[in-house]
Chain A
């Protein structure tokens, strides 16, 4: 037997063209009778990459989970069939289902980082599930997901990886079992274009080379169009909420001359001994939109956390409206905390599972006395409507919302505090383009009316180009370039910026 370079012996599956997953007329209902999925159909064939698209709340995640035989708690199938490798997974006994999930099915969720045991090193996380126990399997799998091991990466724990790296480790874990069917929930959300294309290409490669049936949910029409072999479009089972769409991009306020509303000077942040931010500076004029871009792991999120006072800095200063504020979790006044609000990258953990959406959004209104107590529920309904959620959602719990809907609720909560500066960490990455655009329009409107300043952290360079006045490029914890967005994007000077924009890097070698 030869030592094949190919780590995934081709699964002895059904012959090509035979569907491995057939879903017909699937309807899933929650306990209170809400429809999560209506009459959905899906067919997966080995060697083909199938994309599930549709607006947020359309049931993309529910459909993927149904194929794994695990519907969200409190929901059940009311009609339809799910046939996976010839068996109805929802009728299968627990034991057989486990065997099937262990051998043939792999699922990578929307927030893969939370599925990684924080106490285990990358090496053990990948090896744990590997069918092939040979010594170089970890390196091979990591290389397969384009996460080359530089000798240190395999020894890290998930906490020391960026969001994009965690996602690829989760994918490597899924591949280690050599499944026949690979299901991924939003695998490209929140990745910068280069990485996004790389992951999408990788999925296509896995499908074709290893005869995997791959299904992924995605709200990015470009990825779907370029990479998917088959497309399944889901419609929202309930009529879409009204989203306010204003025409065009408001004119930027230009270079404001006043003092910056947010200024970061020479910020150094270290995790243990490893420097994460080195001498970062940032000046954001009032009423402007600042973009922060950089590859995953470049320190964008750490910068945002230091600004909102969640990450203690080793040295350096953060000034809000001219006043120096602390970077650590203690020592800011409530008013200083109100002035800057953060909407985080991961919508799944952003809302307290024990509290209703209405309670979560209403809390900043009460805390910062933004309106009279008797008007709170009206204001909450108003805020929810602004972010495109029906006001009735105020009585729901976070687990009853989809990822995109939770992201919008998190935006509503941040807006409730009426902040001077709103920091958005990849907020559109979990949203379909229409909702994403509606949210950006909402922020633009607030900026115009209230002079709110927005800091937009994003991998979506088109979004940054369209929506920001100035941009700062981070690379390995340093600011490598900053200035008006149009100028930086038209004539990037630094190699990192050129790489982000997908331009050929100027080769300068001596």
Chain B
């Protein structure tokens, strides 16, 4: 099926190009940080596994953030240690938001699916996230990063689907969705073209939330040494390894912690800036 004129990705891209400066300013930090994390391993000044200073050395000219517990360059490890975390978290957030959006929208159009999804979500929500991660990764020891991502998705969807389902329900009851259903549209069209586009702002907010939750989960897994293993560079692993020397070289702990925090903040800022203005809603006031 050919998309109608004026729809689809071209329009989204052209809208982004015409976006006001304010939006650009809010999206920029997230873009920069994610890009830096992705290209970091290539621009790191030193190798991540060879000592260049004394253990927990204070910052010097050659190592601006000092050394870690084995005297390795903290800056290089910081640059190299973000890629996996960012990629895993983005992947988890996209999968969780996408699955929840589709399940929620389908549930809103087909009530029996909605009830089934809701009951299943209720049961899964009883499982604490960290326990779930441990269960999945211990029962699948060779899974590594993939096991962490799988666990984070399974544990994240139940929360997200309740939100998405709740937001989709009133849209499924609007005149235009009914008109489309009465006009003979299939479920797929109702969900993809009629409901999801009107959930954009909710879904973007949800994406931001799920990204933070994913960073938290992936970092927790790293901290528990489920996933990346030494000597790999990883922000969560760095916090754990260097916590003993925090008084000698605070940067070895503060820098990766700040990176995790900034990442979560900036992605949320970008998500809320990208949410559409209220103009295309059926406006009712007062």
Give residues 193-219 of B contacting A (CB, 8 Å).
193-194, 197-198, 200
Does A351 make an interface contact (CB < 8 A)?
yes
Does A272 make an interface contact (CB < 8 A)?
no
Alpha-carbon distance A193/B235, docked complex (angstroms): 72
Does B282 make an interface contact (CB < 8 A)?
yes
Q: A73-B279, A114-B282, A366-B4 are in contact. List 15 more A-B contacts (CB 8 A).
A: A72-B283, A107-B285, A115-B286, A308-B182, A333-B184, A334-B184, A348-B284, A350-B176, A352-B194, A354-B200, A355-B7, A356-B6, A363-B4, A399-B280, A413-B179
* A-B contact number at CB 8 A: 115
Give residues 100-125 of A contacting B (CB, 8 Å).
101, 107, 109, 111, 114-115
The segment out of A38-46, A79-87, A135-143, A339-347 that lies at the interface is A339-347
Q: How far apart are B263's CB and chain A's nearest CB, in angstroms? A: 30
Are the CB atoms of B5 and A349 closer together than 8 Å? no
Alpha-carbon distance A480/B176, docked complex (angstroms): 32
Cβ contacts under 8 Å, B2 to chain A: 373
Alpha-carbon distance A71/B66, docked complex (angstroms): 57
Q: What are the 8 closest A-B residue pairs judged by CB atoms, nearest first?
A: A337-B184, A349-B175, A354-B197, A334-B184, A359-B4, A350-B175, A352-B176, A353-B280
Give residues 356-393 of A contacting B (CB, 8 Å).
356, 358-360, 362-364, 366-368, 373, 377
Select which of A70, A335, A342, A399 is within 8 A of B285 by beta carbon. Answer: A70
**Interface of B toward A, CB cutoff 8 Å:** 1-2, 4-7, 174-185, 193-194, 197-198, 200, 277-286
Alpha-carbon distance A114/B1, docked complex (angstroms): 34
Are the CB atoms of B181 and A359 closer together than 8 Å? no
Does A397 make an interface contact (CB < 8 A)?
yes
Alpha-carbon distance A429/B283, docked complex (angstroms): 20
Are the CB atoms of A366 and B1 closer together than 8 Å? yes
Alpha-carbon distance A399/B285, docked complex (angstroms): 13
Select which of A68, A366, A368, A399 is within 8 A of B282 by beta carbon. Answer: A399
Cβ contacts under 8 Å, B286 to chain A: 68, 70, 101, 107, 109, 115
14 A-B contacts, Cβ less than 8 Å apart?
Answer: A73-B279, A114-B282, A337-B182, A344-B179, A348-B284, A349-B282, A355-B197, A356-B4, A359-B4, A360-B176, A362-B5, A367-B183, A397-B279, A417-B183
Does A286 make an interface contact (CB < 8 A)?
no
Q: How far apart are B99's CB and chain A's nearest CB, in angstroms? A: 21
Are the CB atoms of B279 and A377 closer together than 8 Å? no
Cβ contacts under 8 Å, B178 to chain A: 310, 344
Q: How far apart are A361's CB and chain B's nearest CB, in angstroms? A: 10
Are the CB atoms of A399 and B176 closer together than 8 Å? no
Cβ contacts under 8 Å, A107 to chain B: 285-286
Are the CB atoms of A111 and B176 closer together than 8 Å? no
Select which of B5, B176, B183, B197 is within 8 A of A377 by beta carbon. Answer: B5
Does A398 make an interface contact (CB < 8 A)?
yes
Does A395 make an interface contact (CB < 8 A)?
yes
Are the CB atoms of A74 and B279 closer together than 8 Å? yes
Does A309 make an interface contact (CB < 8 A)?
yes
Bin the interface of chain A by size: 35 or more
Does A338 make an interface contact (CB < 8 A)?
yes
Are the CB atoms of A348 and B182 closer together than 8 Å? no
Residue of B nearest to A344 (CB): B175
Cβ contacts under 8 Å, B182 to chain A: 308-310, 337, 341-342
Alpha-carbon distance A272/B134, docked complex (angstroms): 47
Are the CB atoms of A354 and B280 closer together than 8 Å? yes
Q: How far apart are B107's CB and chain A's nearest CB, in angstroms? A: 14
Alpha-carbon distance A68/B286, docked complex (angstroms): 9
Residue of A nearest to B200 (CB): A354
Does A76 make an interface contact (CB < 8 A)?
no
Select which of A337, A344, A399 is within 8 A of B281 by beta carbon. Answer: A399
Cβ contacts under 8 Å, B180 to chain A: 352, 363
Cβ contacts under 8 Å, B184 to chain A: 332-338, 367-368
Are the CB atoms of A349 and B197 closer together than 8 Å? no
Does A279 make an interface contact (CB < 8 A)?
no
Alpha-carbon distance A398/B175, docked complex (angstroms): 13
Q: How far apart are A28's CB and chain B's nearest CB, in angstroms? A: 15
Does A329 make an interface contact (CB < 8 A)?
yes
Does A65 make an interface contact (CB < 8 A)?
yes
Alpha-carbon distance A19/B188, docked complex (angstroms): 56
Are the CB atoms of B198 and A352 closer together than 8 Å? yes
Q: How far apart are A362's CB and chain B's nearest CB, in angstroms? A: 6
Give residues 278-332 of A contacting B (CB, 8 Å).
308-310, 329, 332
Cβ contacts under 8 Å, B181 to chain A: 310, 329
Are the CB atoms of A359 and B279 closer together than 8 Å? no
Cβ contacts under 8 Å, A101 to chain B: 286
Cβ contacts under 8 Å, A356 to chain B: 4, 6-7
Q: How far apart are A451's CB and chain B's nearest CB, in angstroms? A: 21
Alpha-carbon distance A358/B2, docked complex (angstroms): 14
Cβ contacts under 8 Å, B175 to chain A: 344, 346, 348-351
Cβ contacts under 8 Å, A351 to chain B: 175-176
Are the CB atoms of B7 and A399 closer together than 8 Å? no
Alpha-carbon distance A73/B279, docked complex (angstroms): 6
Alpha-carbon distance A89/B282, docked complex (angstroms): 24
Residue of A nearest to B170 (CB): A118
Alpha-carbon distance A348/B282, docked complex (angstroms): 6
Alpha-carbon distance A334/B180, docked complex (angstroms): 11
Are the CB atoms of A109 and B284 closer together than 8 Å? yes
